Amino acid sequence: MHPEATISVVIPCYNAERYIVATIESVLAQDRAGLEIIVVDDGSSDRSVEMVRATFPQVRVEQQPNQGVAAARNNGMRVASGEWIAFVDADDIWVPGKLAAQREQLATNPQCRMSYCAWQVWTNDAPRPTPAYLAELALTVGDSARWDGPSGWIYPELLLDCVVWTSTVLAHRSLFDEIGNFDTTLRLGEDYDLWLRASRVTPILRVARPYALYRIHPASITHSRPTENHRAKVIGRALSQWGVRSPDGRQADPKAVRRMLSRSWSDFAAALLHAGHVADAKRCGWQSLREFPANVAGWKTLIKTYAGIRKTMKRTA
């Protein structure tokens, strides 16, 4: 326990020995008193745990058999002692000033229980960004068109895109007491699902400044081929519960939502076709067109599935 903690930072970790030290350093660089850092190791087979314990004795380490990132974050939240909970993945980087900017924003909006900030996609395998890179990023702070985004009751915007990135979130623990934690049945989209639920009970504020680096590298989970259209599953569940109307009375354009769902199915069909699952790709292609018949990408993928079926029939004839 950390009796003086006001913010608990939960870091799920799986075989992140190359990056975990730099990630924790970026959290410690926030220079806030009462900061509790919890690393939840999700069954790593590398030296991640050993490196954290040797380098950061003040960091709490929790270990679990490999259960996925949702379970790891939930376990971190379970043992957290802070009034506020923040998340950062073990290969991402916070920029100094992140937590201070979010706490200042939330202090002036006491009705809000969740904040997120803008971020920069960082395609790099180096553990740390260079000072020159961070200085260059700082020069873009005044570019409001680049860093602005949805803020407030953002349920309609979330129906169209997951505009919240988990490694930027700071939320009051009472929010999770009310809406629950990450859904461990979702391999992907568990964060999207949680932010949709959050958007039903609290305004979600955006700090329009890039205070985090979203690392893209060859081992990123986003490069893995999905086995289910998680996006459609998460959005479909939200629509069945709440429809398109936000708690503040605004609503998402139903046609735009259908177009987005159609695109998710055509993208999924294309991934299945690329992997050689022609029959499944055909089924998902038709689902794309049922959602939005004018989806050109859906038609193209569907045509390719029929061409693939004909090739298969010729080879077996």
137 CA to centre of own chain: 22
pLDDT, tens digit, for every residue of 209-222?
999 999 997 555 44
Read off the pLDDT band of 316 (50, 70, 90).
Answer: very low
219 CA to centre of own chain: 16
Q: Is the pLDDT of residue 157 over 50?
A: yes
pLDDT, tens digit, for every residue of 234-248?
999 999 999 999 999
203 plus 85 within the same structural domain: yes
260 falls within a domain: yes
70 falls within a domain: yes
Mean pLDDT of all residues in 61-90:
97
172 plus 62 within the same structural domain: yes
Residue 219 confidence (pLDDT) = 53
Total residues found in the chain within this entry: 317
The count of domains in the chain is 2
312 plus 211 within the same structural domain: no
Q: Is the pLDDT of residue 57 over 90?
A: yes
84 plus 179 within the same structural domain: yes
pLDDT, tens digit, for every residue of 260-288?
999 999 999 999 998 889 999 999 999 99
Residue 1 confidence (pLDDT) = 38
Residue 290 confidence (pLDDT) = 95
- φ/ψ region of 276 (left if φ > 0, alpha if ψ in -120 to 50, else beta) reads left
65 falls within a domain: yes
51 plus 190 within the same structural domain: yes
Question: Measuring CA to CA, how many Å separate 222 from each of 5, 193, 213?
Answer: 33, 17, 15
Nearest-angstrom CA–CA distance, 34 and 199: 28
Average model confidence (pLDDT) across the chain: 92
- Which residues, listed in sequence order, are joined to residue 35 by a DSSP beta bridge? 7
pLDDT, tens digit, for every residue of 114-126?
999 999 999 999 9
193 plus 146 within the same structural domain: yes
Question: Which tokens in the block code for residue 51?
Answer: 């490196």
Q: Is the pLDDT of residue 151 over 60?
A: yes
pLDDT over 70 percentage in the chain: 92
187 plus 38 within the same structural domain: yes
pLDDT over 90 percentage in the chain: 85
Residue 142 confidence (pLDDT) = 86
Q: Which of residues 176, 201, 223 is at a domain's end?
A: 223
Q: Beta-carbon neighbour count of residue 284 at 10 Å?
A: 26
Residue 306 confidence (pLDDT) = 83
pLDDT, tens digit, for every residue of 222-235?
445 568 999 999 99
Read off the pLDDT band of 313 (50, 70, 90).
Answer: very low
Q: Is the pLDDT of residue 199 over 80?
A: yes
Residue 31 confidence (pLDDT) = 73
The angle formed by the CA atoms of residues 298, 301 and 305, to the nearest 5 degrees, is 135
CA count, 13 A, side-chain hemisphere, 280 = 15
173 plus 263 within the same structural domain: no
287 plus 202 within the same structural domain: no
161 plus 211 within the same structural domain: yes
Question: Measuring CA to CA, how many Å separate 262 from each of 92, 197, 200, 239, 300?
Answer: 31, 22, 24, 15, 13
71 plus 154 within the same structural domain: yes
2 falls within a domain: no
186 plus 264 within the same structural domain: no
H-assigned helices in 96-229: 98-107, 131-138, 144-147, 155-160, 173-179, 190-198
294 falls within a domain: yes
Residue 187 confidence (pLDDT) = 86
Q: Which of residues 202, 223, 244 is at a domain's end?
A: 223
Q: Which domain holds residue 154?
A: 7-223
What letter does residue 265 receive in the DSSP assignment? H
Read off the pLDDT band of 5 (50, 70, 90).
Answer: low
Question: Measuring CA to CA, how many Å separate 286 from each of 86, 181, 280?
Answer: 40, 34, 10
Per DSSP (E only), the strands in the chain are 7-13, 35-42, 60-64, 84-87, 93-94, 114-123, 170-172, 204-216
Crossing angle for the helix pair 296-316 and 254-274, nearest 10 degrees?
Answer: 30
236 falls within a domain: no
209 burial via Cβ count (<10 Å: 0-12, 13-18, 19+): buried
Q: Which of residues 223, 241, 276 is at a domain's end?
A: 223
The enclosing domain of 150 has a CATH number of 3.90.550.10
1 falls within a domain: no
Read off the pLDDT band of 161 (50, 70, 90).
Answer: very high
pLDDT, tens digit, for every residue of 89-110?
999 999 999 999 999 999 999 9
135 burial via Cβ count (<10 Å: 0-12, 13-18, 19+): exposed
231 falls within a domain: no
